[in-house]
Amino acid sequence: MKTVIRPQAKKIAWMLALLYFSSYIMRLNFAVMLVKVISDTGSTKSELSIVVTAMTLVYGAGQILSGILGDRIKPQHLLSAGLALAAVCNTAMFFCTSVPAMAVVWGVNGFAHALLWPPIIRLMSMYLDDNEYSYSAVRVAWGSSGATILLYLVCPLLLPHLGWRTVMLFCAAVGIAVLCLWLVVNRRLFGEPLQTKALRTDAKAPASHLPLPRYVYLPVALIMLGIILQGMLRDGVTNWMPSYMLETFSLSEESAIITAVIPAIFSMLSFFLFEQLHRKLFQNEVFCAAMIFSLSAVAATVLWIVSTLFSSPLLSTCLLALIIAAMHGINLMLISVVPKRFAKSGKVSTYSGLLNACTYVGAAISSYGFAALAEGFGWSITILVWIVISALGLLLTLLASPLWKKFRREYADN
């Protein structure tokens, strides 16, 4: 039976996808141009990784605050504030001439983007039913992948003519345009929440804000550790893939950047495939994440063998793309799907922010850690570490899976 998605739900999904698209345009741009920034400024990978790490740390910490605020403040207001501040920070990067100044501005940019994700999840849980939520989650994820593809395709074309600072201004302009559209349409998109309608029309509807069972905190802790590992691989491999291709295969800076388009395309396709895998085969999203971690472990192992025995830029790119796509699939399961299970507690935004923060704990570790590891021990050892990280993620999510299934059965789905 074909799932019917209301026209209003589709409008909400695509508007939120556009918001997330603009967020990625203004958040990922510096990392995409990192190879060019290194050559222009004369800084090392380790030095400039401080800028990326600053943004990542503040973004991760800000997720927790944003999650709490998202359950107490109208999420539309947080989204507007986040977009506006991000545009200001992208504009300010044009004027930064030192690494410390870049780190400060990009750290503030991290906080701006932290104001976006938990409110998006809360709006989806408030205004969409279960099928519409899944539909919207995939479209929002497409927004991030679409922005990534655009950046990796357009930046190499613009950088030789405009420079990375001017590209930052173009990204700020995209954010301002989306903000203006959002301010015009958001009141028409978001009327009365579905839960409010249900309570008003059904006298027997259950009361909201039911206390969570105590046993759920153990699987949540395991999930959080798994998300940290996912964040290490997702952002770490994505950020340093151009450097890996540049140093391993002697590609040009622009060509190294363009190779990162392939993982973005893989990821965009994988969102739909992994969502179908979850819906039709592994309904337990935590167990589904475990299966995806196993895919990443296999891909990283093959990549290590390939990098050790022979040189193949195309095969290496595809394997890196598979690892990154797998991490995006885990992100979809553990950060998009898991928070909606807390709807009865009235803390969807809080848990969304908490779980998403874990991604950026891992990302902060890998932004500096993978750079230092590659500089000190080479890429072969770095890839071995990726295998270990994938295996640990598989173990943690397998341990959390039975208790999460119990939580779904006794609380979230009951």
- Identify the pLDDT of residue 125: 85
Instruction: Residue 261: name the closest of 159, 152, 155, 158 by CA.
Output: 152
137 or 311: which carries more pLDDT confidence? 137
- Give the chain's mean pLDDT: 84
- Which residues contact residue 114 at a Cβ distance below 8 angstroms, ignoring those fewer than 6 apart? 58, 59, 60, 61, 62, 63, 65, 66, 82, 353
pLDDT digits (tens, 9 = 90+) for 210-231: 888 888 899 999 999 999 999 9
CA 348 – CA 93 distance, rounded (Å): 34
Q: What tokens does 329 get? A: 């699939």
* Average pLDDT over every residue of 132-159: 85
- Identify the pLDDT of residue 172: 95
Q: What tokens does 10 get? A: 């589709």
* Average pLDDT over every residue of 314-338: 88
C-alpha separations of 405 from 15, 208, 287, 383, 411 in Å: 32, 22, 9, 33, 10
Q: Is the pLDDT of residue 309 over 50?
A: yes
3 three-class SS: coil
Q: Is the pLDDT of residue 208 over 80?
A: no
CA 315 – CA 297 distance, rounded (Å): 16
- Identify the pLDDT of residue 308: 82
- Identify the pLDDT of residue 250: 66
Count CA within 13 A, CB hemisphere, residue 290.
18
The angle that helices 164-189 and 75-92 make with each other, rounded to 10 degrees, is: 170
CA 217 – CA 226 distance, rounded (Å): 14
pLDDT digits (tens, 9 = 90+) for 284-298: 999 999 999 999 999
